[in-house]
Structure 1
């Protein structure tokens, strides 16, 4: 396990170097660009610097058909008013989670909100969620400061956002509820971006502290349901429009071989990008 962990850290370092290069190339190019040169810098694993971190992980069980289940509160009612808690004692680290917000899950604005894929915050008061439905994706901005002020995080009132979007989507049936002042203010705190295609799996939405005007995500070149590939793209999302405005197609390739990129993306405070890798195709 220790050898495998070190190996994965080496791959992440190599991917980070490659994507920093991609970001620099992108600045002067058209909306969509296919990079012909190697996306990864040549590397020697023996020269990599190691990241010293704790391995907080859980082993997935892919043999059972019952991998997921509804949270107890959601199972009782779509319009949950009290937070759910998750306490997990398996693996090498005990973890505990508690719901802060309940986001839309029913249909609203012609969109089905039951499949959020990734979450990014630009500050303590602003969050972005990338949702997918079929071949489309969209990004939504949440004004957390306003939602907190309205009481959306308070136990007993946590159904606020879900009720506001549900009543707005069904205004003819619920005209009185749709005119509720609190619900109307809640809707103003939620900005929904336009639909777009070619988003990959959508799990990698991330914020680069060195670029306050954009978000980023990485997609693979494969069809839905098969998300690990040497072919990928990195897309830049303009925060003001919530729509991708730059895209680079590339391959996880260097003189050292091919690497299959995973589904996650993160930036550090210096603007360096980090990705995971699930498989090495050549060494």
Structure 2
């Protein structure tokens, strides 16, 4: 008899007989240990990051327990194990605690050494909750991903779909808590166009929190505030468009004085008209301007004569009792360092004097000139009593004085183009000097416009002329910006629709008429207006366009709040001209 072994089969050969013995593969012999009986423990969740550990089954008696590996822990990363029992296994001189666990991933069970586990849920979640739709931006310093989530609350899977885009505004509609390695993370369901998915809360920031300010200093009655990060909402240039506003853009104007400015030695008395020369065929575009009053030129206490010859902007008080006119010296090297001041005119009393018998349109100009020379009359003193001249301060170019009707505060832009940091200041109506200053950055490639306006709801606006063309915005097209401006917060968004052409070559002013709800864009001899409530969805018919003649510098258009009355602030020489319907 002899043995032949082949392919794991033992064959016994004997004379005249054949016997085959088949041997099945088996696990290697398991070591034998002593253990305690299993006891129940409070249910608790764990996760593991081990690449070497295993779970086991027990067999045999307590005194002679064999352990058989059944799952590799490395296959259960990003999932949760829940314990229900424990037992101690004695391995030589060591007493090792084992937990009986069940996987939320696929229901796998086994005993695992507690040292391989860390307390906490991993890739489990709570049910998503709906939220009020709100706007969010990508946090600038974070890369950020948008994920797709699948699975159940017991075992979720996350797959990165795309990166967050710094040029998109996302709308959040749901939140969901997902646990990773024992920590709870909030994910937000966001959409932006065709993009949708879940973003970690730390990678996006609510637009309602953008631009919040902090106090940086307090001195001499002036409180300084500053924001951190950009205060301009993200946008993509390809999402921008323009509505046709062609045919009314005026070229650069060579300014001239009124015809009688020299012959009257500046003490003009005649009513002058700036006629309408061309306009669109709508009710909002058909008007012209007529002299309402000639403004002063001289005033004592300043560095030179004719110091008041350069008014730049104006605003009425909320009750229209006072008119605030802002001036600058225009002798400093840069716009933001120009010296400025404000004169508050008692508009109600001045009009009473102007309407009195024997009055003249040059009444203010003559009174201030005689005050400069020290030869005032009784009427002059009445006129001068209607004026409060504020102190001088570093004011910038000051072509942006505007009242926020909601807060009843006056604001102007001090610095807007020489650096990425914009500076706006709040003007005290009593002291006529700034009592608050706010510094902020719109975006590294976007400077603050030089003009400012507010609607009745307190929304702030400015507009700019495009200097570097986009595929969607030609040179000299108009961009509108809308937002919030105050000591607590500064935040602006680019309106995704502008105008194909600006009114003229020199951007001068912006104003809001609370009686018709329109925003007015002022350039020299050309004024456009649009309904504020249709920004972003304008049609060409919504854009009223008016051209004028006279070669005067159009410094600003200012509207009263209690009536549909407007005035043009102009130079050479300085005067207020009333808006008169054609």
- The TM tier, using the shorter chain, reads 0.7 to 0.9
Judge conservation of contact 1:260–1:280 (CA < 8 Å) in 2: no
2:365 is equivalent to residue 169 of structure 1: no
Q: Equivalent residue for 1:217?
A: 412
Output the CA distance in 1 between the equivalents of 2:356 and 2:294.
8
Deviations 1:77-124 (A, max 9, x none): 211122221103146455410111211112433261000000111133
Output the CA distance in 1 between the equivalents of 2:339 and 2:289.
30
Q: Equivalent residue for 1:245?
A: 435
- 2:450 pairs with 225, 244, 263, which one? 263
Distance change >3 Å, CA 29–CA 281, structure 1 → 2:
farther
Output the CA distance in 1 between the equivalents of 2:440 and 2:357.
45
Judge conservation of contact 1:260–1:277 (CA < 8 Å) in 2: no
Q: Equivalent residue for 2:60?
A: none
CA deviation after TM superposition for structure 1 residue 252, in Å: 2.0
Distance change >3 Å, CA 68–CA 94, structure 1 → 2:
farther
Q: How does 1:1-283 map to 2 (within 5 A)?
A: 25=213, 30=218, 31-43=223-235, 58-62=248-252, 67-77=254-264, 78-90=266-278, 92=280, 93=285, 95-110=287-302, 112-122=307-317, 123-133=319-329, 134=331, 135-151=338-354, 157-171=360-374, 174=375, 178=376, 180-197=377-394, 199-212=395-408, 214-222=409-417, 230-253=420-443, 258-279=445-466
Judge conservation of contact 1:234–1:247 (CA < 8 Å) in 2: yes
Q: Equivalent residue for 1:14?
A: none
**TM-score of the two chains, using structure 2 as the length reference:** 0.38
CA deviation after TM superposition for structure 1 residue 125, in Å: 2.4
Distance change >3 Å, CA 98–CA 240, structure 1 → 2:
same
Distance change >3 Å, CA 210–CA 262, structure 1 → 2:
same
CA deviation after TM superposition for structure 1 residue 191, in Å: 0.5
Distance change >3 Å, CA 40–CA 194, structure 1 → 2:
same
CA deviation after TM superposition for structure 1 residue 264, in Å: 1.0
Output the CA distance in 2 between the equivalents of 1:41 and 1:51.
19
Output the CA distance in 2 between the equivalents of 1:281 and 1:148.
46
Judge conservation of contact 1:259–1:279 (CA < 8 Å) in 2: no
CA deviation after TM superposition for structure 1 residue 167, in Å: 0.6
Q: Equivalent residue for 2:66?
A: none
More helix per residue: 1
Describe the SS at the equivalent of 1:161: helix
Describe the SS at the equivalent of 2:316: strand
Distance change >3 Å, CA 21–CA 117, structure 1 → 2:
farther
Judge conservation of contact 1:205–1:265 (CA < 8 Å) in 2: yes
Deviations 1:215-250 (A, max 9, x none): 101133556xxxxx6432111111111111111222
Q: Which runs of 5+ in 1 are unaligned?
A: 1-17, 224-228
CA deviation after TM superposition for structure 1 residue 60, in Å: 3.4
Judge conservation of contact 2:213–2:227 (CA < 8 Å) in 1: no
Judge conservation of contact 1:82–1:155 (CA < 8 Å) in 2: no
Describe the SS at the equivalent of 2:251: coil
CA deviation after TM superposition for structure 1 residue 206, in Å: 0.1
Output the CA distance in 1 between the equivalents of 2:462 and 2:276.
26
Output the CA distance in 1 between the equivalents of 2:276 and 2:378.
39
CA deviation after TM superposition for structure 1 residue 41, in Å: 2.3
Output the CA distance in 1 between the equivalents of 2:326 and 2:262.
24
More strand per residue: 2
Higher relative contact order (CA 8 A, sep 6+): 1
CA deviation after TM superposition for structure 1 residue 153, in Å: 8.8
**TM-score of the two chains, using structure 1 as the length reference:** 0.73
Structure number with bigger Rg: 2
Judge conservation of contact 1:262–1:276 (CA < 8 Å) in 2: yes
Output the CA distance in 2 between the equivalents of 1:44 and 1:144.
46
Q: Equivalent residue for 2:112?
A: none
